[in-house]
Amino acid sequence: MKFISAGTLKSRLQAAFPEREFIMRSQGQVRFIRISSRMQKVAAGTCAALLGAWCVSMGAVAVSQFSATSDHALLRLREAKVATAESRVQQYRDNLDGTVDDLARRQKFIETVVEAHIGDLPDDKQAGETVTDSASEAAETVKKVSAAVPEAGKLAGVEAEQLAFVERLTRYADRRAASAAQAIRKLGLNPSAMANARGGEGGPLEKLATAADGSIDPRFQRLGQSLARMDSLENGLASIPQVSPAHVAYVSSSFGYRADPFTGGAAFHAGLDFPGPMGSPIYAAAKGRVTFVGQRQGYGNCVEISHGNGLMTRYGHLSGFNVRPGQLVDGGTRIAAMGSTGRSTGPHLHFEVRNNNRPMNPRTFLEAAHNVQQEAR
């Protein structure tokens, strides 16, 4: 840091405040007024001191006002929270019926939203269903509670409506799961294996409870199990090949035994051949994860997609790729271009469906899957 000597500072002040002489004219007379350097310095110092004192006082006032405003704002916020909580408690005390009516309206709103998204929930119980029907038991409970604690009668009624709703939702999930299982069975696959299959799972533990003591009502637990089974089976059904991998007019070679195009001898053909122009788009037959992109002996350029539950589709003789290993795709996603690489006599797609590496006839899936999906819905 550079320090300024006293002599230098004095000379700079002297240069800043030189002696000044003003000329004043008044009634034809001319007067000369001289202001010394010292007088200018005194006047400037006085002004600076007054200005500094004014700034300090105004700053103190501003800080004081801000502090008071903040305190008042925090106090108002606390008062608002206390008032809200107290008013809610008072509402429960003074108007239990009104509060119960609010809860009932909320329950109806939840039911309306759910049914708007998934359709009408079943009221009837079909043969073979194991979901409980606690309507009569709930009615008896409401009756007893109303007699013992009259002010809680409506609350017991709301609880009965919730349990009835949970049972209807469980029946809905069970019926959709049964429909999906039947559709999967029609395709020659095992629905139980799909329902029980598990991929990677994890995450923090979030315990589900419906009571203050941490327990869960068995009816809610059953609902969770039914929804999980429905979700597994419908996801499995959606992963079954159902989209034609190539938009062509016909299949040039079917699944099964045929004359080999190169040797003329009998050979087993593990898929379907879709002939078409070079570079025609190739599509994923169902949602899944791309597990292989590259060359395989006999197939040339090849893409393989895993659909879970042991299902895999293979696309061979490609001229180009549009996906990479590990990529998630949906049914109908463009994954490659038709070609004639590998053991091929011309541009076409060789398409396979394998279950635990066992080749299956793709035609069964492509012809049946669409109708099966419609039936499952």
Under DSSP, the state recorded for 120 is: P
Q: How many residues are recorded in the chain?
A: 377
What are the tens digits of pLDDT across the range 239-258?
Answer: 888 888 998 877 877 787 77
Amino acid at 183: A
Per-residue model confidence as pLDDT tens digits over 16-43: 556 655 444 544 554 555 556 666 666 6
Q: Which of 335, 343, 349, 363 is nearest to 277 (CA)?
A: 349
Contact between residue 255 and residue 272 where contact means Cβ atoms under 8 Å apart: yes
Q: Mind listing the pLDDT tens digit for each residue in 207-235?
A: 555 555 666 777 778 888 888 888 888 88
Burial class (CB in 10 A: 0-12, 13-18, 19+), 8: exposed
Half-sphere exposure of 86 (CA within 13 A, CB side): 6
Residues 24 and 17: their CA atoms lie apart, in Å, by: 21
In tens, the pLDDT along 321-372 reads: 999 999 999 989 999 999 999 988 899 999 999 988 899 888 888 876 555 4
Residue ranges covered by each domain of the chain: 9-94, 97-197+218-238, 256-376
Q: What angle do CA 193, 183, 229 make, to 5 degrees?
A: 45
Please give the average per-residue pLDDT across 76-97, as a whole number: 55
Tokens of 243: 């989209």
pLDDT of 54 higher than 60: yes
Q: What is the pLDDT of residue 204?
A: 53
Class of 256-376 per CATH?
mainly beta
User: Distance (Å, rounded) from C-alpha 311 to C-alpha 293?
Assistant: 17
Q: Give the model's confidence band at 206: pLDDT under 50 very low, under 70 low, under 90 confident, else very high.
A: low
Q: What is the pLDDT of residues 268-309, one digit of tens each?
A: 888 889 999 999 999 999 999 999 999 999 999 999 999 988
Which range has the worst mean pLDDT, 138-142, 182-186, 312-316?
A: 138-142
Instruction: Give the bridge partners for 293, in sequence order.
Output: 303
- pLDDT bin (cut points 50, 70, 90) of residue 88 is very low
- Are residues 318 and 324 in contact, defined by beta-carbon separation less than 8 angstroms? no
Model confidence at 373, pLDDT cuts 50, 70, 90, reads very low
- Choose among 333, 370, 329, 366: nearest CA to 351: 366
d(CA 131, CA 127): 11
Q: Are strands 348-355 and 358-360 parallel, antiparallel or unpaired?
A: antiparallel
How many whole angstroms separate alpha carbon 55 and alpha carbon 369?
A: 83
SS3 369: helix
